[in-house]
Amino acid sequence: MSNNKGKYDPYASNEDLEEAKKLPGFGKPLPKNLFSGDIYSNFLKTAKDAGYLPPFVALQKEIRNDMSKLLNAIEGGSTEEEINHLIDEINVKVKKYNIECPSSMQKMLVSLEDIELHTKIWK
């Protein structure tokens, strides 16, 4: 048994190493321009290329889908109680979205009276 005390081992087990080998780009050199120029822009490009979505963008998509469900419920003749329940669920997500997103992207809470306006805002 070797004495690795105090040494960093990124692959503490063979399982970790096997999982890392499955990642795209494993073993390939990093792009030369990754740390040159504007590092933040490089990070955004790398994250976008990897398919990363900021949590508020993923939540925005959920809210859009929920808005479509709400419109279908209204057009489908759902009860007022069901519609209000959907609105409450959407508003919980809107509040979370407003906490996570940049302040310039914050949205109003959804209300039944202004449903058409809210639908346009969330598209």
Q: How far apart are CA 84 and CA 99, in angstroms?
A: 23
Residue range 34-47: mean pLDDT, rounded: 77
User: What are the domain boundaries of the chain?
Assistant: 14-49, 55-122
Is pLDDT of 81 > 90?
Answer: yes
Measured on CA atoms in the order 29, 32, 38, 42, is the torsion positive or negative? negative
Mean pLDDT of the chain: 84
Which of 120 and 97 is assigned the larger pLDDT?
97
CB 79 within 8 A of CB 87: no
Is pLDDT of 8 > 70?
Answer: no
Is pLDDT of 31 > 50?
Answer: yes
pLDDT value, residue 49:
83
